């Protein structure tokens, strides 16, 4: 074999978007210089996928399964997504939440290879060349997911290790909504880290200095956005797991200029709206009748407060009246307007000090139980990362105040959730309408089987992204977010005893297609669509990439 054909064989077999491994047939092997490089048998994709699944079944820890699948992702993406599609509900918790949290903690130590762009705040001048290195043209990219990893899930600052959340979110886009994996880029925006365990870890692979903030950070983000949008003008720029200050600031500052989407604020807000829409089918109430308590008023908590308050305004309340029905609780208890150093993103919902003067205080602050007793919320959401914060006493108090409270303990991963859903159902005597961020099995209580919906933005953002791509939306509008939420909620009947508030993960592809259709319609209504389709249903279907080896490309 000449050096040239040897190089060619290596190139084909190591390109995860082109490689088929044992599925290359005899002719293809000859043409691609692979003769003699693979065992004799030509397998089908189904046969390959069965073997992989069988191998996976022999691995007994989720993190080891994650590594197996990660290596497969880097070897043959068609096969990876076929295995994922065939066992979506079982494997989503392995490639994504909650296992991805552990993989991120161990990423540098377990370093393999990552299909991602590593952009460094110390080399802003390299952003362009790094993004160009993928060899993709202006029309070749639909979606870029970036993270600066300041607040990964509920586990904090994980520096460059956080790249795995960009990769994981993209895997969910493809598995759930058929976003073409050859048309996406995962990005790590490495700004340093304040995580001492990483800075002291000799195996850490990111910039070994504390997190850069201020003007240098702002310049880095501005350059990233400018260059990414210039090189790939049609790409959605998805932001994931930024700290609360930066997440909101970047979204507010650039939302009008770029096709950006903050998943933790907008995606989570929309899946919460979907959950509440479902819950209100049971309680037969409107948004305007809700009293919302958010425990953990950071990126996700304040993002969802905004979307639920917007729902109240749509139902006839003024903005003032809507804000008056929202209570935020953070580290120092109820957020009150005379608190010092109140972050800007909490100020809009701070309660007047006068109004709560007579409320019970513990060590100077007003705690969750007191707020529940005083407010009698119809909705309690947890985005605090404080495991166990929703105690039996809290859940019982919630149910004393209202007949069927909506209870959404959303913190991820499992070790951060405010209350396990099984406990919430038992303690509330089945009254609480529960959905959680993590996947959970059904739970039996008092003769009823409760199916617990997964209120994770992964049930919504893939369909939202697909709808934005199909319509060529220039911006992600509030109308598109609402359309996605309504489309998700429309797929369930939550009224029978024990029914879930959200569609099952097993149906995620169909569910994403329905959401994408509604999102594309909303983009057109909002005047941001650049592509019209005579048959939108067909356009959505056609846009969904399938895990198959296309004949023409062999």
Ligand X SMILES: NC(=O)C1=CN([C@@H]2O[C@H](COP(=O)(O)OP(=O)(O)OC[C@H]3O[C@@H](n4cnc5c(N)ncnc54)[C@H](O)[C@@H]3O)[C@@H](O)[C@H]2O)C=CC1
The site for ligand CC(=O)C(=O)O (CB under 6 A) is made up of 97, 153, 241, 263-264, 412, 437, 456-457
Query: What tokens does 98 get?
Result: 């909650």
Q: Which residues pair with 502 in a beta bridge?
A: none
- Letters for 457-496 (x = contact with ligand X by CB under 6 A, - = none) are x---------------------------------------
Specify the residue for token string 């970036």: 146
Contacts (CB under 6 A) with ligand X, residues 13-42: none
Q: Given the complex with ligand X, which of 180 and 457 has the nearer CB atom?
A: 457
Distance, in Å, from the CA atom of 219 to the CA atom of 507, rounded to the nearest integer, reads: 42
- Letters for 290-319 (x = contact with ligand X by CB under 6 A, - = none) are -----xxxxxxx------------------
What does 329 interact with, of ligand CC(=O)C(=O)O, ligand X, Mg ion, none (CB < 5 to 8 A by kind)? ligand X
Size of the site for Mg ion (CB under 5 A): 2
The angle formed by the CA atoms of residues 124, 127 and 130, to the nearest 5 degrees, is 140
Closest distance between ligand CC(=O)C(=O)O and the C-beta of residue 105, in Å? Answer: 15
Tally of CB atoms within 10 A around 386: 18
Distance, in Å, from the CA atom of 45 to the CA atom of 52, rounded to the nearest integer, reads: 10
* 264 near Mg ion, rule: CB under 5 A: yes
Q: Is 526 known to sit in a ligand binding site?
A: no
Closest distance between ligand CC(=O)C(=O)O and the C-beta of residue 84, in Å? Answer: 18
Q: Given the complex with ligand X, which of 33 and 159 has the nearer CB atom?
A: 159
Asked if 310 and 317 touch (Cβ cutoff 8 Å), the reply is: no
Q: Is 194 known to sit in a ligand binding site?
A: no
* 414 near ligand X, rule: CB under 6 A: no
> Where does residue 497 rank: exposed (0-12), middle (13-18), buried (19+ CB within 10 A)?
exposed
Among 240, 330, 426, 526, binds ligand X (CB under 6 A): 330
Asked if 192 and 148 touch (Cβ cutoff 8 Å), the reply is: no
User: Would you please indicate which residues are annotated as catalytic (active-site) residues?
Assistant: 96, 169
Q: Given the complex with ligand X, which of 274 and 544 has the nearer CB atom?
A: 274
* Residue partners of 498: CB distance under 8 A and separation at least 6: 430, 442, 448, 449, 450, 451
Closest residue to ligand X: CB criterion: 298
Closest distance between ligand X and the C-beta of residue 158, in Å? Answer: 12
Q: Is 234 known to sit in a ligand binding site?
A: no
Among 29, 73, 325, 416, binds ligand X (CB under 6 A): 416
Among 264, 306, 418, 526, binds ligand X (CB under 6 A): 264
Query: What tokens does 433 get?
Result: 């309408």
Q: 228-232 long-range contacts, Cβ below 8 Å, gap at least 24? A: 228/127, 228/131, 228/144, 228/187, 229/258, 229/259, 231/128, 231/131, 231/132, 231/138, 231/141, 232/131, 232/136, 232/138, 232/140, 232/141, 232/144, 232/185
* 164 near ligand X, rule: CB under 6 A: no
Q: Is 412 known to sit in a ligand binding site?
A: yes
Specify the residue for token string 């990233």: 224
Tally of CB atoms within 10 A around 538: 10
Among 175, 455, 482, 513, binds ligand X (CB under 6 A): 455
Distance, in Å, from the CA atom of 280 to the CA atom of 401, rounded to the nearest integer, reads: 16
Closest residue to ligand CC(=O)C(=O)O: CB criterion: 412
Q: Is 456 known to sit in a ligand binding site?
A: yes
* 148 near Mg ion, rule: CB under 5 A: no
Among 10, 109, 331, 360, binds ligand X (CB under 6 A): 331
Closest distance between ligand CC(=O)C(=O)O and the C-beta of residue 452, in Å? Answer: 16
What does 127 interact with, of ligand CC(=O)C(=O)O, Mg ion, ligand X, none (CB < 5 to 8 A by kind)? none
What does 511 interact with, of Mg ion, ligand CC(=O)C(=O)O, ligand X, none (CB < 5 to 8 A by kind)? none
Q: Within 13 Å and on the Cβ side, how many CA atoms surround 209?
A: 8
* 409 near ligand X, rule: CB under 6 A: no
What does 330 interact with, of Mg ion, ligand CC(=O)C(=O)O, ligand X, none (CB < 5 to 8 A by kind)? ligand X
Closest distance between Mg ion and the C-beta of residue 268, in Å? Answer: 7
Q: Given the complex with ligand X, which of 412 and 477 has the nearer CB atom?
A: 412
- Letters for 240-259 (x = contact with Mg ion by CB under 5 A, - = none) are -x------------------
Q: Given the complex with ligand CC(=O)C(=O)O, which of 144 and 229 has the nearer CB atom?
A: 144
Q: What is the 3-state secondary structure (H, E, C) of 142-200?
A: CEEEEECCCCECCCECCHHHHHHHHHHHHHHHHHHHCCCHHHEEEEEEECCCCCHHHHC
> Where does residue 441 rank: exposed (0-12), middle (13-18), buried (19+ CB within 10 A)?
exposed
> Where does residue 257 rank: exposed (0-12), middle (13-18), buried (19+ CB within 10 A)?
exposed
- Letters for 359-398 (x = contact with ligand X by CB under 6 A, - = none) are ------------------------xxxx------------
Size of the site for ligand X (CB under 6 A): 29
Closest distance between ligand CC(=O)C(=O)O and the C-beta of residue 268, in Å? Answer: 6
Residue 113 carries which DSSP code? -
Among 456, 477, 512, 521, binds ligand X (CB under 6 A): 456
In order of 120, 369, 394, 414, the CA distances from 377 in angstroms are: 45, 11, 12, 25
Query: What tokens does 395 get?
Result: 């859940």
Q: Which of 483, 551, 554 is nearest to 523 (CA)?
A: 483
Q: Give residues in contact with Mg ion (CB under 5 A).
A: 241, 264
Residues belonging to the binding site are: 240-241, 264, 412, 456
Residues belonging to the binding site for a divalent metal cation are: 240-241, 264
Residues belonging to the binding site for (S)-malate are: 412, 456
């Amino acid at each position: 074999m000449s050096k040239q054909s040897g190089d060619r064989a290596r190139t084909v077999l190591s390109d995860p978007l082109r490689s088929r491994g044992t599925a290359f047939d005899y002719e293809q092997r000859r043409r691609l210089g692979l003769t003699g490089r693979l065992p004799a048998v030509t397998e089908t994709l189904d046969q390959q996928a069965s073997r992989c699944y069988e191998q996976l079944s022999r691995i007994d820890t989720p993190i080891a399964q994650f590594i197996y699948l990660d290596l497969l992702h880097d070897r043959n993406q068609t096969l990876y997504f076929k295995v994922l599609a065939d066992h979506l509900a079982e494997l989503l918790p392995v490639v994504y939440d909650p296992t991805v949290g552990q993989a991120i903690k161990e990423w540098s130590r377990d370093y393999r290879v990552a299909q991602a762009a590593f952009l460094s705040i110390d080399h802003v001048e390299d952003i362009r060349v790094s993004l160009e290195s993928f060899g993709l043209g202006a029309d070749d990219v639909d979606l870029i997911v970036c993270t600066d990893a300041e607040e990964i899930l509920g586990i904090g600052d994980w520096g460059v290790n956080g790249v795995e959340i960009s990769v994981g979110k993209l895997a969910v886009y493809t598995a759930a909504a058929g976003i073409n994996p050859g048309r996406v880029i995962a990005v790590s925006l490495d700004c340093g880290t304040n995580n001492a365990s990483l800075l002291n870890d000799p195996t850490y692979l990111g910039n070994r200095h504390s997190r850069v903030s201020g003007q240098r950070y702002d310049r880095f983000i501005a350059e990233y956005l400018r260059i990414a949008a210039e090189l790939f003008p049609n790409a959605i720029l998805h932001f994931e797991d930024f700290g609360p200050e930066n997440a909101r600031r970047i979204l507010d500052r650039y939302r009008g200029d770029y096709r950006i989407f903050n998943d933790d604020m907008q995606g989570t807000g929309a899946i919460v709206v979907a959950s509440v829409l479902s819950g209100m089918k049971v309680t037969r109430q409107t948004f305007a009748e809700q009293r919302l308590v958010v425990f953990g008023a950071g990126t996700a908590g304040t993002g969802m407060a905004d979307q639920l308050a917007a729902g109240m305004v749509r139902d006839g309340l003024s903005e003032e009246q809507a804000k008056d029905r929202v209570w935020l609780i953070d580290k120092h208890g109820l957020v009150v307007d005379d608190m010092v150093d109140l972050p800007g993103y909490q100020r809009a919902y701070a309660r007047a000090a006068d109004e709560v003067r007579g409320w019970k205080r513990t060590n100077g602050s007003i705690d969750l139980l007191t707020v529940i007793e005083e407010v009698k919320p119809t909705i309690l959401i947890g985005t605090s990362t404080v495991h166990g914060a929703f105690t039996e006493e809290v859940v019982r108090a919630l149910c004393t105040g209202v007949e069927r409270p909506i209870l959404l303990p959303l913190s991820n991963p499992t070790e951060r959730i405010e209350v396990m859903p099984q406990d919430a159902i038992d303690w509330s005597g089945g009254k609480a309408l529960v959905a959680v961020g993590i996947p959970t099995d059904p739970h039996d209580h008092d003769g009823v089987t409760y199916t617990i919906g997964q209120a994770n933005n992964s049930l919504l953002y893939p369909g939202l992204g697909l709808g934005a791509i199909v319509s060529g939306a220039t911006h992600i509008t509030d109308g598109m977010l609402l359309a996605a939420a309504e489309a998700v909620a429309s797929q369930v009947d939550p009224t029978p005893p024990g029914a879930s508030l959200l569609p099952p993960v097993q149906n995620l592809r169909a569910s994403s297609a329905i959401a994408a259709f509604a999102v594309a319609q909303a983009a057109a209504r909002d005047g941001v669509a650049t592509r019209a389709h005579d048959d939108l249903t067909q356009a959505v279907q056609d846009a969904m990439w399938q895990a198959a080896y296309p004949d023409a490309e062999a």
